[in-house]
Amino acid sequence: MSLPKFSIKNIQSLNTKLADIEQIENYFYNNHKIASYIYKKLNEAFEFYANSDYRISKIACEEIMRETTICDKAYYLYSLLNFQNNDYDQAKDYILKAISVNPNVPDYYFVLANIELALNNDMRFLGNKYHIKSIESTINKALQLKEKN
């Protein structure tokens, strides 16, 4: 039985492939760690919110948003926290981010409609027909999505 002959070129090619595999494994390992961290933080944020510890919940959301820009639930919760503090502009910004990440969640549109209603009561928008149409459109979108689900 003879052993296969390896040239320097074959060994270098094999080393490159092994390095690529290691890089891919590291990528998935690191992403799994980040995903686990975000999942844990998100659960904490919702738990703090449920226990009316809004300040800590907001901090947890901020930590998540520093790690990723694709966590719609963190944007959603952050929007609710800002809404509770009557910061409707900030609440709207964050619910729109949640919708941009995941446009198929009816609750996000219901929250947006509530924010729009709160803004409508603000003197800046009082009686603005365009604003009222926007609210109506948002509610219709939420109802359409609710029917699909």
Residue 102's domain is classified under what CATH number?
1.25.40.10
How many distinct structural domains can be found in the chain? 2
Residue 2 within any structural domain of the chain: no
User: Rounded to an integer, what distance in angstroms lies between the CA atom of residue 52 and that of residue 67?
Assistant: 24
Contact 108, 76 (CB under 8 A): yes
Q: pTM for the complete prediction?
A: 0.69
Per-residue confidence (pLDDT) for residue 43, from 0 to 100: 92
Give the pLDDT confidence of 55-86 residue by residue, as tens digits: 999 999 999 999 888 899 999 999 999 999 99
As a 3-state breakdown, the chain gives helix, strand, coil percent values, each rounded to 5, of 80, 0, 20
In this prediction, residue 93 carries a pLDDT of 96
Domain of residue 16, residue span = 8-68
Same domain, 113 and 139: yes
Mean pLDDT, the chain, rounded, equals 80
CA distance 135 to 128: 11
123 located within any domain: yes
Task: Match 């509610």 to its residue by tokens.
Answer: 139
Please identify which residue in the block is written with the tokens 């040239």.
Answer: 7
Same domain, 24 and 87: no
Higher pLDDT, 109 or 129: 109
Question: Could you tell me which of 77, 103, 105, 73 has the C-alpha nearest to residue 90?
Answer: 77
Residue 117 lies in a domain: yes
Residue, of 37 and 80, whose pLDDT is higher: 80
Return the pLDDT at 143. Answer: 75
